[in-house]
Amino acid sequence: MEERRFALKPHDNSSGRFRLDNKGAVVTGGANGIGRAVAKTFASHGACVRILDIDREQAEATTKEITAAGGQAGTYFCDVSDHASVERVFQEILQRDRVHILVNSAGIAHVGKAEDTSESDFDSVIQVNVKGVYNCVRACLGHMRENGGGVILNLASIAATAGVADRFAYSASKGAVLSMTYSVAKDYLRYNIRCNCISPARVHTPFVDGFLRKNYPGREQEMLEVLGRSQPIGRMADPQEVAWLALFLCSDEAAFVTGTDYPLDGGFFSLRG
């Protein structure tokens, strides 16, 4: 029988729970929205955060916020859908730092049914949301395996497992993220690598505000309330609420958690009438 090395155990909490001291964390899509909240939360709990994003200006702004608050952070321009770009950036990071945690938060949304989704739109969503996760996971798995383990956290969506109207391409991409999460968790358990995902319902991010400005000019607040009421809890999630769950799942307190999808859905699955 193959021996398993699963050494992560709950650590001494004398300095506080959910600490990430001396941990290196890479957060893709860390310039805005959920990724930004994750990057700031991890840094405030002791992690040295590396933000990978295609929005260089906003990524640098987030890094400055973190360092101004006394945290450790760095910015790397990276298109996660570009294999060569990801390989280059990870090579640069890994030459200097250990990566204990990878959070795959970079992603794009798309609104449309199957026949409303052009081939180019479908390809774009898959390239970022699916291939982007593949590129980043592949770039750091060997490093984690050779250095005793690590944690990978993917951002999926309730759209991965529920029928959500007008989200054909997005749902397909997040279903793939969920499946990849299970696969990595299974294949790398013996190497002390945990892999989980979070599946949020609607989260109030800059994408939502931009979508409303574009499609409902002058009615943004009204439509924001409509979107909130569409969830049983009566509102959208705040990015910080996703970040708190991410912090737990990437901390040593979650050492027994792997291969799990965590819905953060305000009652979407269990309380819909």
Which positions are annotated as active-site residues? 170
CA–CA distance, 104 with 155 (Å, rounded to integer): 6
Nearest to 45 by CA among 34, 37, 54: 37
Cα–Cα–Cα angle for 199, 204, 207, nearest 5°?
95
Q: Which one-letter DSSP state was computed for residue 48?
A: E
For residue 199, what is the enclosing H or E element?
strand 193-200
H helix intervals, the chain: 33-44, 56-68, 83-96, 119-126, 132-146, 168-188, 206-215, 220-229, 239-250
The region, left, alpha or beta by phi > 0 then psi within -120 to 50, assigned to residue 51 is beta
CB neighbour burial string for 255-269, b if at least 16 within 10 angstroms, e if fewer? beebeebbbbbbebe
CB neighbour burial string for 172-181, b if at least 16 within 10 angstroms, e if fewer? bbbbbbbebb
- Look up residue 127 and give its two tokens: 């390239």
Give me the sign of the Cα torsion angle 86, 102, 153, 52: negative
